[in-house]
Amino acid sequence: MKTIQSNLNNLKVGIIGCGWLGIRIAEKWQKKNHIYTSTTSKEKVDLLRLQGLNPILVDFNSDNPTVDISLWEAVSSLDVLIITAPISSRKDHDIDHIKNRIRNLSSFIGNYDGQLFFMNSTSIYPHLQKEFTEEDVPVDKVLAEQLLRAAYPQVNILRLGGLMGDDRQLSKYPVSNLQAPVNHIHFYDIATIIERMIENRSYAKVYNVVAPKHPTKQEVIAMQKNQPPTEGRSAIGRVISSNKLMEELNYQFIYPDPRYFHLQ
Higher-scoring residue by pLDDT: 263, 125? 125
Confidence of residue 93 (pLDDT cuts 50, 70, 90): low
The half-sphere exposure of 180 on its side-chain side, counting CA atoms within 13 A, is 16
Our CA angle for 167, 36, 117, nearest 5°, is: 75
CA angle at residue 21 from 18 to 26, to 5 degrees?
60
Selected residue with higher pLDDT from 33 and 4: 33
Weakest mean pLDDT among 33-42, 90-99, 160-169: 90-99
Model pLDDT, residue 229: 72
CA distance 149 to 31: 31
Q: Do 36 and 13 meet the contact criterion of CB atoms below 8 Å apart?
A: yes
pLDDT digits (tens, 9 = 90+) for 39-86: 999 999 999 999 999 999 998 876 665 567 899 999 999 999 999 998
Per-residue pLDDT at 154 exceeds 90: yes
The structural domains of the chain, with segments of one domain joined by +, span 12-171+183-215+240-263
pLDDT for res 67 = 61
- pLDDT at residue 228 tops 90: no
Average pLDDT over all residues of the chain:
92
* Predicted local distance difference test score (pLDDT) of residue 1: 45
Cα–Cα distance for residue pair 23/26, rounded to 1 Å:
5
Per-residue pLDDT tens over the stretch 98-130: 998 999 999 999 999 999 999 999 999 999 999
Q: What average pLDDT does this structure show over 126-142?
A: 96
pLDDT band for 199, please (50, 70, 90 cuts).
very high
What confidence category does residue 97 fall into, taking pLDDT thresholds of 50, 70 and 90?
Answer: confident
Task: Identify the band that residue 260 occupies on the pLDDT scale cut at 50, 70 and 90.
Answer: very high
CB count in 10 Å sphere of residue 171: 14
Q: Does domain 12-171+183-215+240-263 have CATH number 3.40.50.720?
A: yes
User: Residue ranges of the alpha helices (H) in the chain?
Assistant: 20-29, 42-50, 95-109, 143-151, 187-199, 217-224, 243-249
pLDDT grade for 7, boundaries at 50, 70 and 90: confident
